[in-house]
Amino acid sequence: MGRLEELKKKKHELNEESIRINNEIYLLERENEELLQEKLKVLVGRAFKTTSGNVYYVYTVPPREVDVMGHSRFNPYQIPVLSVSMEKDYDTHIKYPEISTETLYSRCCDADDPLEAFREEYMEIDIYDFIDEARTAIINFIDEHH
């Protein structure tokens, strides 16, 4: 066997090993994401409030997203929430309630107790308090503009 054949064979062997390693890394990443999602489930169904008065309801765990090219993204630091806040229109200076889905940044996925860590960042409130805050914001807006 000549040197060119040896190089070709070695390159093929290394490529096969690279494919095996990449597949193993892929499986480990998926398992890691699933474990983090399971760990963060303690937040789902809970409501929180910030010092600015915004209220949030955690409705799911951070999802794994796949783009059109098949690349996946997973960010355990962005917690999906339903948000209710009072915003101000800078042109009219009218405050209005804004209800949206967004994410809250948190490092709670790194903690042994993610709920306690999240409570250190955001004040937990009763779900009915969340609903009352949202209802009050909407009613106040309607009363002011009716």
Residues linked to residue 99 through DSSP beta bridges, in sequence order:
84
Per-residue pLDDT at 141: 83
DSSP code, position 111: S
CB 97 within 8 A of CB 85: yes
63 against 142, higher pLDDT: 63
Three-state DSSP at 48 gives: strand
| pLDDT one-digit tens code per residue, 69-89 | 878 899 999 999 999 987 767
Longest Cα–Cα distance of the chain, Å, equals 90
Per-residue pLDDT at 31: 95
Q: Tell me the average pLDDT across 110-124.
A: 97
Give the pair of three-digit tokens for residue 10: 């070695």
CB 54 within 8 A of CB 85: yes
Whole-model pTM: value is: 0.82
Give the pair of three-digit tokens for residue 66: 């796949």
Count the Cβ atoms, other than its own, within 10 Å of residue 32.
12
